[in-house]
Chains A and B, each alone.
Chain A
Amino acid sequence: MARVLDVRNLSVTYKNKNKCVYAVSNASFSIDQGDSMGIVGESGSGKSTMAMALLRLLPRKKTVVEGEAGFLGQDLLHISDEQLDRLRWKNLSVVFQKAMNSFSPVHRIGDQIEDIYRIHEPNATRKEAHGQAAKMLALVNLNERVYKLYPHELSGGMLQRVMIAVSLLHEPDLLIMDEATTALDVVTQGQILGELRKMESELKTSRIIITHDISVVSSSCNKIAVMYAGSLLESGHVSEVLARPAHPYTKGLLAAFPPLRGQRVVLESIPGYLPDMAARHEGCIFAARCPEAMEKCKSAAPARTDLGNDHFVSCHLIEVEKQ
């Protein structure tokens, strides 16, 4: 399968006058055509920062982005602005959590969709644009009627769905959804995720979905990446990582989620707090909260270990086991 996105050693540092915040450090992952990857982590774990860095949406003066991000043969982090503009919407699109607030209140939804369509298809007729928009609106379970409405006439959930439809207009190779369905109702969210899955198998698009809800990932993605305090601790196929989590943090997260069916279990928290991201950490970033931490964990950062079948984990315990 063709590789769509190949991120290597991505680091993002926020800088201001007197301190640096290391928001993402050394993240590496890759996405193949047709893959859907869920990036999970708690608030402050750097998952949104990572997405923003890939899209080059972070303020240039205040951030330092290092590493590589190969996307369809180009390096997203190093191409010129013009080259990037050609990719945006067309090959790479994004939906944010509060995307519904980004509509202009004084233009009809349909006109706004057409504008976006024309960026990459400047010669498209009104009919073509309308046809494509109607197709995508149907995909997110919206009536074509919204085309003629103004944003204030729709509910937040409906606007969010319009935004998802807009992001799909050009049938992009990669769609990034940053908590895009979090604010929606369970039923709507379930339906949109179902439609996206169906569409992905038809159009061969790939998707990155950023969320704090593992259940969304387990039901709609084939790959998962677990982030904690700016580090990617574990990544791999959903079927493998959720069934046999290797990293203590992943195990902890799973124990904190109640299952929907079956026996009721005792929920367990992970004690402690996120570390100070403004300081460099010598050892494993999770060591202070890890129930299985050893001496080594506090002094040396663990390497990324390959467990086979795309399952990667950064933990000393695994390194020891492998030897």
Chain B
Amino acid sequence: MSGNYIEIKDISKFYPVKGSGTLLGGKGSRKLVKAVNGVSVGMAQGEVLGVIGESGCGKSTLARLLTRLETPTAGDVFIGGVSTGKMLEQDAKKFYRTVQIVFQNPYDAFTPRDTIEQLLSRPLKNHGICPDRASRHERCAELLESGNLRPAEDILKRYPHELSGGQLQRIAILRAMSLDPAVIVADEPVSMLDVSVRADIINMLLEQSASKKVTVVFISHDIALTRHVADNIAVMYLGRIVEYGAAQTIIESPLHPYTQALISNCASIDIADRVEPIRIDGEPPTPIDPGPGCFFADRCPVAEEICFREYPETAARAGNHRVACHKA
């Protein structure tokens, strides 16, 4: 694992629960929401890592931690052996150039009062990539062309509301790419978009990242799409990674009962491919005090006594496949 270009090490984010604890401080009794709880995963340069899980499992918090929109409670991320925490302290600009994010909603990602040219050239100016206006203009036009947004000159003059969601999302990706980052975190980048334009966005993201050897963290609840995009997939449940492995392995031979249930319930467009969904009862428990045992134990169809007692160790399987389950 140490040979990885990007190394997420035991990263955690706990939020205090409002109203818990006593009136006079009493810090010890304060309850915590463990949104992300000791996540470790490595990525090679140019790899696409898919993160899947239900809503509330901490996928988006993980995205915000990677980009340092949230400060982790514990743990750190290393890029090429350098701690991002240190990088941020020493040279914040350098960090923001290294890690970029693409958000879910392209309509909210741009200032409505700026033209596309202003929006695209601001990062180039701030990071000193293109010092003068003429070169910035040229670079912006090039960027749009490379993302198949034509005619570039015309689009540069427009405002965000004059473009479609698909076009805006492509611009969001191009803007993130324009700084030549090492990592791009894409948090549900196509879930707001129509099916017929999704493919273009996905293909563009993959092309751009492949040509520049950018590592992508692709966060989505769409399992079929994640399998299509990702090299490796991490399955999250209540702030922890319960299973990790090559995309094909995770989809076709999942080991963790949660992954099995998740995938069996995932509808496929192939009518010949009918799997009887595995039923899991109950609601996901809250991430406040999820208990000493495996977090999934209450809902797990194969849980035994030990599952309620201790949280399972993460065990390595064939290849890079890892699973945290007593029974797998």
Q: Chain A: residues with CB nearer than 8 A to chain B?
A: 42-43, 141, 155, 158, 185-187, 189-191, 193-194, 212-216, 218-220, 238-239, 242-243, 252-262, 264, 266-270, 273
Contacts and interface: CB of A to CB of B under 8 A. Distances in A.
B265 A218 contact: no
Given A194-B277, A267-B198, A187 B268 contact: no
Interface in B205-233: 221, 223-225, 227-228
Nearest to A45: B194
Nearest to B200: A269
Contact of A218 (B203, B227, B262, B268): B268
B271 interface: yes
Contacts of B224: 215, 257-260
Contact of A253 (B196, B263, B265, B281): B196
A267 B190 CA distance: 13
Given A218-B271, A273-B164, A256 B198 contact: yes
B268 A186 contact: no
Contact of B265 (A189, A252, A269): A189
A216 B203 CA distance: 24
A97 to B, nearest CB: 14
Contact of A190 (B196, B221, B266, B271): B266
Contacts of B196: 42, 252-253, 256, 269-270
A238 B271 contact: yes
A36 B207 CA distance: 40
Given A155-B283, A158-B283, A215 B269 contact: yes
Contacts of B125: none
A111 to B, nearest CB: 23
B270 A259 contact: yes
Contacts, number: 114
B197 interface: yes
Interface string B33-60: 0000000000000000000001100000
B251 interface: yes
Nearest to A212: B195
B227 A258 contact: yes
A216 B194 CA distance: 15
B194 A219 contact: no
Task: Identify the 6 closest CB pairs spanning chains A and B, nearest first.
Answer: A190-B265, A258-B228, A267-B199, A215-B267, A219-B267, A270-B196
Contacts of A266: 203
B240 to A, nearest CB: 17
29 contacts: A42-B196, A141-B281, A185-B55, A189-B267, A193-B267, A213-B267, A214-B269, A215-B224, A215-B267, A216-B267, A218-B269, A219-B267, A239-B271, A253-B195, A253-B196, A254-B269, A255-B199, A256-B195, A259-B268, A259-B270, A260-B224, A260-B268, A260-B269, A260-B270, A261-B251, A264-B227, A269-B200, A270-B196, A270-B197
B261 interface: yes
Q: For the side of the interface on B, what is the size category?
A: 35 or more
B198 A220 contact: no
Nearest to A267: B199
A190 to B, nearest CB: 3
Interface string B53-93: 01100000000000000000000000000000000000000
Nearest to B203: A267
A219 B164 CA distance: 31
Contacts of A260: 223-224, 227, 251, 263, 266, 268-270, 273
B152 interface: no
A261 B223 CA distance: 11
B132 interface: no
B202 interface: yes
A190 B277 contact: yes
A212 B281 CA distance: 27
Contact of A261 (B200, B267, B270, B277): B270
Interface in B157-205: 164, 194-200, 202-203
A257 B251 contact: no
A268 B199 contact: yes
A214 B225 CA distance: 13
Contacts of A254: 269
A191 B277 contact: yes
Contacts of B227: 258, 260, 264
A260 B275 CA distance: 12
B274 interface: yes
A115 to B, nearest CB: 26
A179 to B, nearest CB: 13
B280 interface: yes
Contacts of A238: 271
A141 B279 CA distance: 10
Interface in B279-318: 279-281, 283
Contacts of B264: 190
A260 to B, nearest CB: 4
Contacts of A268: 199
